[in-house]
Amino acid sequence: CCRPEAGNIAMIGVLGLQGDFEAHGKKLEQAGSDTQIVKKPEQLDLLDGLIIPGGESTTLIKLMDLYEFWEPLRTFAVQGKPILGTCAGMILLAREVLNPSQKSLGLIDVAVERNSYGRQRESFEATGRFIAKGHATELEMIFIRAPRIHRLGTGVDALAFYEDDCVLARQGHILVASFHPELTGNLSVHRYFLDMTL
Ligand code: GLN
């Protein structure tokens, strides 16, 4: 029901159906929140924010069907609670999915193309730029068969870039990343997300 009161620690869930949810939990704890792995929709009621991790979006879709997560996740978002989607999580949050087209929550007005980075190489690490509060810093980014953002809607802010591509985008309380911020030593994306829950 409630937002954390000043001084209280936020409780952030990590959707634990498939993929690399454990690494996100560790990062959140390092960034100063409580965390729980979310396996059932009822758990969403207890959370101040949620991370949908990377993995395989087609598998996640099947498991979200099986455990009936679609409507509870939409309700969670309508309540204004922040959601961070990384890689496959971004694909699930996007309004439009290409290569191929598939169903999604449609909570952020971007079009994403699946498996658009690293076709030759499964994964790669690169240095990009993270721009928060008008200040740019370098950020290590790991891409694993990652989706590329092709279109940003008018209400969407670009917060990080790899070469000329936006790889971290925000619309209101929804944040999405093409890369895996949970796999590097840097906490800035998780810290930024925790600030969104305050
Ligand atoms: N290629 C995966 C997909 O399309 C995403 C990969 C990832 O999350 N690391 O769902």
**What is the SS3 assignment for 62-93?**
HHHHHCCCHHHHHHHHHCCCCEEEECHHHHHH
- Please give the Cα distance from 12 to 67 (Å, whole number): 20
Q: Is the CB of 112 under 6 A from ligand 1?
A: no
Nearest-atom index, ligand 1, CA of 144: 9
**Span from the CA of 191 to the centroid of ligand 1 (angstroms):** 23
* pLDDT tens track, the chain, 198 positions: 445 555 679 999 999 999 889 999 999 999 999 999 999 999 999 999 999 999 999 999 999 999 999 999 999 999 999 999 999 999 999 999 999 999 999 999 999 999 998 765 789 999 999 998 889 999 999 999 999 999 999 999 999 999 999 999 999 999 999 999 999 999 999 999 999 998
Q: Is the CB of 88 under 6 A from ligand 1?
A: yes
Least Cα distance to 178 among 121, 120, 110, 131 occurs for 110
pTM here is: 0.95
Q: Is the CB of 53 under 6 A from ligand 1?
A: no
**Computed from CA positions of residues 67, 105, 79, 194, in that sequence, does the dihedral angle turn out positive or negative?**
positive
